[in-house]
Every structure is written in C-alpha cells, then in structure tokens.
Amino acid sequence: MIHAGAMRHKITIQSQADSTNAFGTTRTWSDYRANTYAEILSPSAGRDVLGGAEGNKETIRFRLRYTTGIEPDMRVVHGGQNYRITHVENVRGMNVELLITTETART
C-alpha cells in the first residue's frame, strides 16, 4: 500500500545511452525519470563472494508509484550515490506501485 508521506525521497532513474563522436562510441547515463518520489525501505547488508575476492554489497529497496519502462539495466541515483537495479517488481500486478531492488558496493 502506498503511503504518500513515506515517499519523501527524490530519486532519479537513469538509463545508458550510446553516443558517437570523432573518438568513437561512449556509453553515458541519461535521466529516464528525474525527480521521482520514493520510499526507501530498510537496507539489508549482504556479503558477496566473486572470484574468491570477498566484497561487501548493500541492497536497498525503493518503493514508488507505478511507471512503465524501468528495467534491470538501469540505475537509481539518490543522495549522490548510484544504485544498480537488480530487480523490478510490479506489486501484486496491480499497476499501482513498484518495488525496485538495487545494489551498491559498500566502501
């Protein structure tokens, strides 16, 4: 259920775009949905082991009003931090709210 007062955090959802210039093709991030209000759900810290190197990753979930086109190859920007989208869920398939699961390396 959506509680408007809980959605007080401004986030930006960005997608990757290719641009070509005289030096070749580069990948840049561009705003897909800017200044979107969301609720930040309690972060859960997890440990991930990749190739024998141990690293800390932080998983954060964002709840926001339903919108189309958000995919796992995008990212969320909040408070100067970039969060890689790992999963997008249309809650109960009702087209009312989305839960976006993200991940970032902890420093």
CATH of the domain at 63: 2.40.10.270
57/42 Cα distance (integer angstroms)? 14
Please tell me the predicted confidence (pLDDT) of residue 19. 81
The per-residue pLDDT for range 46-55, each reduced to its tens digit, is 544 444 455 6
Q: Which of 65, 55, 26, 61 is nearest to 43 (CA)?
A: 61
Condensed to tens digits (0 to 9), the pLDDT of residues 88-102 reads: 999 999 999 999 999
**For the chain, what is the domain count?**
1
d(CA 99, CA 20): 34
Structural domain for 17, as ranges: 4-105
Instruction: Give me the pLDDT at residue 1, please.
Output: 64
Q: Could you give the CA distance from residue 16 to residue 74 in angstroms, rounded to a whole number? A: 7
87, 71 contact by CB (below 8 A): no
Using the structure block, give the residue that is written with the tokens 């989208």. Answer: 85
pLDDT of residue 52: 45
Say what the pLDDT of residue 4 is. Answer: 67
Below-50 pLDDT ranges, the chain: 47-52, 107
